[in-house]
Amino acid sequence: MPDATRSAALGVFLKPAARVAAGGLGIGWAAAILAVLLAGGSDLRIPAQMWLVAHGSGLVVGEAQIGVVPLGLTVVAVALVALVAHRVARREIADLGPFAGAVGMIYGISAAILSAVTSTDDVMTSIPRAAIGGLLVGAAGSAAGAGWRHRATFAVGEVPALLARGAGRALALVLGVSLALILVLLGLHGQRAADMWGLLDPSLGGAFVLALACLLSLPTLVVWAAAVLVGPGFALGTGTTVDLTGSYLGAIPGFPTLAAIPAPGPFPPWVFVLGLVLPAAGIWCGLATPRVRVGAGAGAIGGLVLGLLMAVSGGGIGPGRMVEAGPPPVMPLIVAVLILAATGALGSLLAHYRGRRASRKPSESDRFGLGRWLQSPGTD
372 within some domain: no
User: Residues 148, 179: one domain?
Assistant: no
Residue 361 has pLDDT above 90, yes or no: no
Q: What is the pLDDT of residue 8?
A: 45
Q: Please tell me whether residues 81 and 217 are part of one structural domain.
A: no
Q: Which is more confidently placed, 359 or 89?
A: 89
**What's the confidence (pLDDT) of residue 279?**
95
| pLDDT tens per residue across span 224-242 | 999 999 988 898 888 888 9
Mean pLDDT score, 174-184: 95
Quick one: pLDDT at residue 109? 93
Judgement on whether residues 329 and 268 belong to the same structural domain of the protein: yes
35-60 tens-digit pLDDT: 888 877 777 788 888 889 888 888 88
What global pTM score does this model have? 0.85
Look at residue 22 and tell me if it is in a domain. Answer: yes
Does a structural domain hold residue 373? no
Question: Does residue 367 sit within a domain?
Answer: no
Note down the domain range covering 141.
Answer: 1-155
Residue 156 has pLDDT above 70, yes or no: no
Asked if residue 7 has pLDDT above 70, the reply is: no
3-state secondary structure the chain: CCHHHHHHHHHHHHHHHHHHHHHHHHHHHHHHHHHHHHCCCCCCHHHHHHHHHHCCCCEEECCEEECCCCHHHHHHHHHHHHHHHHHHCCCCCCCHHHHHHHHHHHHHHHHHHHHHHHCCCCEECCHHHHHHHHHHHHHHHHHHHHHHHCCCCCCCCHHHHHHHHHHHHHHHHHHHHHHHHHHHHHHHCHHHHHHHHHHHCCCHHHHHHHHHHHHHHHHHHHHHHHHHHHCCCEEECCCCEEECCEEECCCCCCCHHHHHCCCCEECCHHHHHHHHHHHHHHHHHHCCCCCHHHHHHHHHHHHHHHHHHHHHHCCCEECHHHHCEECCCCHHHHHHHHHHHHHHHHHHHHHHHHHHHHHHCCCHHHHCCCCCCCCCCCCC
Query: What value does the mean pLDDT of the chain take?
Result: 83
Instruction: Judge whether 148 lies within some domain.
Output: yes
Name the pLDDT band for 372 (thresholds 50, 70, 90).
Answer: very low
222 and 341 share one domain: yes
At 37 the pLDDT is: 83
Asked if 14 and 147 sit in the same domain, the reply is yes
Lowest-pLDDT range of 2-6, 206-210, 252-256, 268-272: 2-6
The number of folded domains in the chain is 2
Q: Do residues 200 and 163 both lie within one domain?
A: yes
Region 87-113: mean pLDDT is 82
- The arithmetic mean of pLDDT across residues 191-213, rounded, is 85
pLDDT tens, position by position, 286-297 = 998 888 899 999
Q: Is residue 378 one of the residues assigned to a domain?
A: no
Q: Are residues 115 and 244 in the same domain?
A: no
In a domain, 315, yes or no: yes
